[in-house]
Each structure stands twice: as structure tokens, then as C-alpha cells.
Amino acid sequence: MSTPSPRRSGRDKLRVERRDLPAGPEWEIVQPRCGRRRREDIEEVEAMVEAGETEIARDELVWLLSECPDFLEGHVQLGLIALEEEDPKLARGHFGRAYELCCRALDAAGGPQPLPYALAGNKPFFEAAKGLVHCLLDTGRRKTAREVCDRIRPLDPSDPLGIQRLVAR
């Protein structure tokens, strides 16, 4: 018989918060507490990858995600490593997980807009979406890639990462 996992409070979940800015309200994805505590860890992982220590970085990321499954940057980094290793299916899994987590948080918040890439908390979401679209196109899933683009287009119409152009090719 399995024991139930403890319920996480709203502060321990990935969530979306309103930011009242001079130009008007905007929304930002906020990592769970466990993810916010791992900022230094992800910087170390990025340094490992730059130094060519990909295997060590991958092991560190897997460990970080075992401690904090909603850690968006961990999923994005594992997706990038998988792309570098020419494994688009594995990359799609990691990018897709980060994208899915954010979509769930957005849906739970009622689908707020805008969600600009310029806000730091939103960057991993859009990076995951771009990686996901790339992988979907690479694996012949153009219709699903277009659906991802349709979902994110109204969140930040400026599309600073050029995600919409990927499906236009």
C-alpha cells in the first residue's frame, strides 16, 4: 500500500502571479520553492555544459529533478543536452514536460495574458516551447507543433525567440 504524498501549498507549486507594471498588468510564472532554491545549481550545470562536462551535468540535472520535479530550468537544460546529443525524442520529452507544467499553471490561473518573455520567470516556459516546437517538427509532428504555437502566440505576440517562424518554414 502506498502512502499518500503530502499536499503542497500554493506556494510550493508552480504558479502564475500578476505583476502590476507602469504599462499595465502582466503575468509571470513563479517556480515552486524547491525550484527557486536551485538557481545556483543551474548556473553550475550551465558552467559544466560549457566546459564539456555534459555527463556530469546530466547526472546533476536528474538529481535536481528528483528533488524538484517542477524545476523548469532542469527540464529545459536536459532538453538542450538531448538536442546536442541528437536525441530529439528525449529532448521533446523534457521540453514537453516543462511546457505542460506551465500550461497547467496557466490554466489553473484562468489563462491570464500577457505573459511576456521579458519577465525572468517566463523565460524557461518560452525556451521549453521553442525546444518543443523544434523537436516536434524534427520528428514529423507539424500539426502538434502548430498547436503549441497557437497556444503561446497570444501570451507574447512579440515572439522574441522566433518560435512562430519555426512552423512557417
Residue 1 included in any domain:
no
Could you report the per-residue pLDDT of 18-45, keeping only the tens digit for each? 999 898 899 999 999 998 888 889 999 9
| Separation of CA 148 from chain center | 13
Q: Number of folded domains in the chain? A: 1
Residue 6 included in any domain:
no
Residue 150 included in any domain:
yes
Spatial separation of the C-alpha atoms in residues 28 and 50, rounded to whole Å: 28
| Separation of CA 73 from chain center | 6
Over the Cα atoms of the chain, what is R_g?
16
Could you report the per-residue pLDDT of 65-88, keeping only the tens digit for each? 999 999 999 999 999 999 999 999
Spatial separation of the C-alpha atoms in residues 54 and 133, rounded to whole Å: 23
Q: What is the pairing mode between strands 15-21 and 24-30?
A: antiparallel
Residue 9 included in any domain:
no
Domain interval for residue 88: 29-168
